[in-house]
Amino acid sequence: MRKPRFRRVTAAAAEAGVLVDEVAARAAAPGPTAGGLGPLEVLVEDGGSTGAVAAAPVDVVALGPEERATPAPVIELRGLGRTFPGDPPLHVLRDVSLVVERGDYVTVVGPSGAGKSTLLHILGLLDRPTSGDYLLDGLATRDLSEQDRSALRGGRIGFVFQSFHLLPHRSVLDNVLLATLYSGVPRTERRERALAALERVGMSHRLDFMPPVLSGGERQRVAVARAVIASPHVLLADEPTGNLDSATSAGVLDLFDELHADGLTLVVITHDATVSARARRRVRIADGTLREVG
């Protein structure tokens, strides 16, 4: 018999009975959570594609202790494929399976054009697979609406890109603050959280600076602060050190190590052996499939 997995979210009692994916997405969305009602228990089947919401408070729902102790992996890919239309169609990812547990630090390597960024876009809910399943925190993402996907993205996923993607005409502090708009961070906490995130990455002395006058390493540290401010469940990075010299890269990788030590789950795409050497797990994409390389 399949053992169910359990997730706990806070939702209004009126939401009892709606699909689990919707409730979880709404719980991750910005806005007030239900007051005074207590959390509801959301039951997610092992397959993740269906679920039910129990109207009773958590303590009333009988759960086995071992079931409480086994949270779903942050990321689970099952036979995932991504084909781009064309003549002939381009089968970039064919049959990719991967489990990323909480607290994992995984690097993804592979030749140019192998599909690394394609995979990251799918993991970040920026793109959809054409076959197979992607479960985020045990939730099947396949049939979610764009609105629900946005809510999950804002609340659970942090992104870091090679070219930083900071807003050039906004200060360092504003760049980080703006990331809280769709993240579920309460309004009253935003400034404090932004300041703390910037302190975390060693950028407190540059709050009023505009990104164009920062060094590459400083820009990437601001981008990391922006990515982690909402306490994401996973940080996705695509060639985060690709525009940095080796000394500056080492500083960003030290920061990743610290975040990992604090419990953050990281998936980092790189073609740089020194970057992949820092991670606990390495996977390689080639010919549309993915394998563990130790």
Ligand X SMILES: Nc1ncnc2c1ncn2[C@@H]1O[C@H](COP(=O)(O)OP(=O)(O)OP(=O)(O)O)[C@@H](O)[C@H]1O
What is the greatest pairwise CA distance in the chain?
59
Residue given tokens 């994409």 in the structure block: 285
Q: How many residues bind Mg ion (CB under 5 A)?
A: 2
- Given ligand X, Mg ion, none, residue 92, with its beta carbon under 5 to 8 Å by kind, binds ligand X
Residues in contact with ligand X by CB under 6 A are: 84, 90, 92, 110, 112-118, 271
| CB nearer ligand X, residue 205 or residue 291 | 291
CB of 271 to Mg ion, least distance (A): 9
Residue type, 208: D
Q: How far apart are the first and last CA of the chain?
A: 32
Name the minimum Å distance from CB 236 to ligand X. 13
In angstroms, give the least distance from the CB of 240 to Mg ion: 12
Q: Is 85 exposed, middle or buried (0-12, 13-18, 19+ CB in 10 A)?
A: exposed
- Which amino acid belongs to residue 84? F
Least distance between Mg ion and beta carbon 108 (Å) = 10
By C-beta, is 117 or 175 nearer to ligand X?
117
Rounded to whole angstroms, the Cα distance separating 91 from 140 reads 23
Residue closer to ligand X (CB basis): 114 or 139 = 114
> CB of 117: closest distance to ligand X in angstroms?
3
Task: Kindly write out the interface string for residues 10-39 of this chain, putting x where it contacts Mg ion by CB under 5 A and - elsewhere.
Answer: ------------------------------
Site track for Mg ion across 80-119, x = CB under 5 A = ------------------------------------xx--
Q: Please, which residue, 112 or 188, has the CB nearer to ligand X?
A: 112
Among residues 27 and 114, whose Cβ is nearest to ligand X? Answer: 114
Separation CA 44–CA 222 (nearest Å): 36
- Binding partner at 84 among Mg ion, ligand X, none, C-beta below 5 to 8 Å by kind: ligand X
Query: 109-168: which residues touch Mg ion (CB under 5 A)?
Result: 116-117
CB nearer to Mg ion: pick between 128 and 170: 128
Q: Which does 118 bind (CB under 5 to 8 A by kind): Mg ion, ligand X, none?
A: ligand X
Minimal distance, residue 49 CB to ligand X, in Å: 26
Instruction: List 100's β-bridge partners, or say none.
Output: 75
Q: State the DSSP code for 113.
A: T
Q: How far is the CB of 70 from Mg ion (least distance, A)?
A: 34
Q: Minimum Å distance from CB 118 to ligand X?
A: 3
Q: Are the C-beta atoms of residues 212 and 257 closer than 8 Å to each other?
A: no
E strand map for 58-206? 75-84, 90-100, 105-109, 131-136, 139-140, 157-161
Q: Measured between alpha carbons, how far is 183 from 181 in angstroms, rounded to an integer? A: 6
Q: For residue 110, which of 23, 239, 215 has the smallest C-alpha distance?
A: 239
* Residue 114 or 173 having the CB closest to Mg ion: 114
39 or 288: CB nearest ligand X: 288
- List beta partners, residue 282: 107
Q: Helix 216-228 crosses helix 246-261 at what angle (to 10 degrees)?
A: 20
Q: Answer whether 282's CB lies under 8 Å from 98's CB.
A: no
By CB under 5 A, name the binding residues for Mg ion.
116-117
